[in-house]
A and B are shown apart, each in its own frame.
Chain A
């Protein structure tokens, strides 16, 4: 949430959206400038991959510019934009799953499930404390995010990092608000378990209230 107040004001400016809808290319460019970072960061957290995040962001904005005239309610622009982004994220995730070849062991071996490849490729013999000396906490958390399932990850990112209200997320995903809250709860629960497994707690990262 590093946007300035002006930015936020601009994002919600119905006027800008209205002009972009009417085909004003300047206004469209402004909307892209304002929202690109948000959509990129949403996709990046979803994939932890710069190239995929760029691809999703570009597709999202191309689609946005093409389909903006069909947007009925300008006040719902935000959830409408995230809906496009989520759809492209899901499409890319499907492609990625299709392309990736998993060995039988990686899928079914409990040990392999507990320690996915990205972890074993790092300093596995080091203690979590040592690991943290080399690796940013941010990266560890990002990787933890990748371990919860896609549906929960979408909700957690939109709520925790994009600041959407539960109502808006429900609109984006076309599901009930209660389902969104449930996914959020289980997503956070899953994250907590992942972090506990990695021995990351209050003491190791020095967080606390």
Chain B
């Protein structure tokens, strides 16, 4: 089977990474295959061109790396935590010592105090001197209640009287005042009504008077103009009638004249005819 160089073989050959038998096989393939030779040539030319890219010069900046050594025991986080708790406790103890802190637990009592413990104060035992019986208490309550009731009733009666008296007094004074007020108001109103009515009457009279005056003059004027108009109308009517009579008379006159003429003509014609006839007759 003929060997055919793959893309991978060509690449390995191009970069000189083929050795021994493989290299020989590819070289043999290239000898026999012009296309592959051309391809390889092109790739070499491209590599040559790519060689024009030069490296850029650069200076390595300092690279800072943290301490990579294994941490000591006091750098371990758990150690730090424990140490800080211990330090806080120590501080609290010191402060307690300086402030004279006293903590005690006795019986069911937790006692925290500063300074020296104070002297226990004496507790005064307060006890009732003598006990009373229920009956005594009841009696006392009843007695005081009775006293109270009596006092209350007295005060109620007094206040009742006072209230009545004041009410009566108030009523009397108020009624008098109200009567006066009513009288005043009634008197005042009668007077006012009279004045009002009289003023209204006067105004009415005035109004009616002026109205009548106005209306009478207007009526007069109106009637006068009416009469004048009527007279004018009558005059006009007469004139018209006269004209009509005149024209009729004229026409009658004309008619009479024409009738007269006609009659005359007829008469003349008759006369003439009669005359001629007579002449004819005579002739005959």
Contacts and interface: CB of A to CB of B under 8 A. Distances in A.
A137 B48 CA distance: 12
Contacts of B60: 32-33, 36-37, 57, 61
Nearest to A25: B65
B38 to A, nearest CB: 12
B67 to A, nearest CB: 9
Contact of B45 (A25, A142, A166, A202): A202
Contacts, number: 99
Contacts of A191: 46, 50
B45 A209 contact: yes
Interface string B4-35: 00011011100101000000000000000000
Contact of B53 (A65, A138, A186): A138
A197 interface: no
Contacts of A25: 65
A184 B43 CA distance: 11
B45 A182 contact: no
A159 interface: yes
B37 interface: no
Given A32-B60, A160-B47, A166-B17, A62 B65 contact: yes
A142 B49 CA distance: 11
B44 interface: yes
A209 B52 contact: no
A166 B11 contact: yes
Contacts of B167: none
B63 interface: yes
Contacts of A54: 58, 61
A204 B191 CA distance: 137
Interface string A3-29: 000000000000000000001010011
A33 B55 CA distance: 16
A41 B12 contact: no
The 10 closest A-B pairs by CB, nearest first: A36-B60, A181-B8, A185-B7, A181-B11, A65-B65, A40-B58, A41-B55, A61-B63, A137-B52, A138-B53
Interface of B: 7-8, 10-12, 15, 17, 41-50, 52-61, 63, 65, 68-69
Given A40-B56, A181-B7, 19 more contacts: A2-B55, A28-B63, A33-B60, A36-B59, A36-B60, A37-B58, A41-B55, A45-B53, A54-B58, A57-B60, A62-B63, A65-B68, A137-B52, A166-B11, A166-B17, A181-B8, A184-B11, A192-B42, A195-B49
15 contacts: A40-B58, A54-B58, A58-B63, A62-B65, A65-B65, A137-B52, A138-B52, A166-B15, A166-B17, A182-B7, A192-B42, A195-B49, A205-B49, A209-B41, A209-B48
